[in-house]
A and B are shown apart, each in its own frame.
Chain A
Amino acid sequence: DAGVTQSPTHLIKTRGQQVTLRCSPISGHKSVSWYQQVLGQGPQFIFQYYEKEERGRGNFPDRFSARQFPNYSSELNVNALLLGDSALYLCASSSPGTGEKPQYFGPGTRLLVL
């Protein structure tokens, strides 16, 4: 298994645009979480999905949305991009069960908003 994969690896957008980030979990993992990591800080929780249902949401504006597909892959969408959205976006999956189990992280998508 290649582990958690994310695409694209890098992305450059301009303010006001919309972006979609993609994540494929480890085979057999049903829970996917999204994090934003700004330079110099730890990952900040955005969303958690389990069995295609949202189980948790961090303190992020409604411009951020996500979904999980029947194959457990996930997309994170960010609308009306702001300069402050520039960050590394991490996806993590966890083994069957609740999201409290150890999470396995992808390499991240680095988003730059100009």
Chain B
Amino acid sequence: AQRVTQPEKLLSVFKGAPVELKCNYSYSGSPELFWYVQYSRQRLQLLLRHISRESIKGFTADLNKGETSFHLKKPFAQEEDSAMYYCALSMIGDMRFGAGTRLTVKP
């Protein structure tokens, strides 16, 4: 069955420290994966997608088909990165979200 797992509900790091938010997926086809972010009192918004292989706000994510993972990384966390992060798997006519990880960056 198609599934997205984010093993950490909460993640706390200090400003300037590296951060990695984990995402594992289960899908037999060719996955299209996204990271969405929700800042306090704002709507859910796209952070990045694996196809574009871009870096947004210093975040990157690499699709590892062997490990079925799509972890989100940033070398130096900033306080404004504090938010809820969701990993999502897109399929034809369906989209699966993980339960989310709340990232807190402490000063």
Contact = CB atoms under 8 A, between A and B. Distances in A.
Interface of A: 3, 33, 35, 40-45, 48, 55-58, 90, 98-100, 102-108
Interface bracket on B: 20 to 34
22 contacts: A3-B43, A33-B95, A35-B97, A40-B99, A42-B4, A42-B99, A43-B44, A45-B94, A45-B95, A45-B97, A55-B92, A55-B93, A56-B94, A90-B44, A99-B90, A100-B32, A100-B90, A102-B49, A103-B46, A104-B46, A106-B43, A108-B43
Contacts of A98: 92
Contact of B93 (A44, A56, A105): A56
Given A102-B46, A108-B43, A43 B86 contact: yes
Interface in B1-43: 4, 6, 32, 34, 36, 43
A90 B96 CA distance: 14
B91 A100 contact: yes
A91 to B, nearest CB: 10
A58 B90 CA distance: 13
B68 interface: no
Contact of A58 (B32, B34, B44, B94): B94
A99 B4 CA distance: 18
A42 B43 contact: no
Given A43-B86, A58-B94, 20 more contacts: A35-B95, A41-B99, A41-B100, A42-B97, A42-B99, A43-B97, A44-B97, A45-B94, A45-B95, A48-B93, A48-B94, A48-B95, A55-B92, A99-B90, A99-B95, A103-B46, A103-B95, A104-B46, A106-B43, A108-B43
B24 to A, nearest CB: 14
Contacts of B55: none
Contacts of B88: 42
Contacts of A100: 32, 90-92
B104 to A, nearest CB: 16
A38 to B, nearest CB: 10
Given A90-B44, A102-B49, A108-B43, A42 B94 contact: no
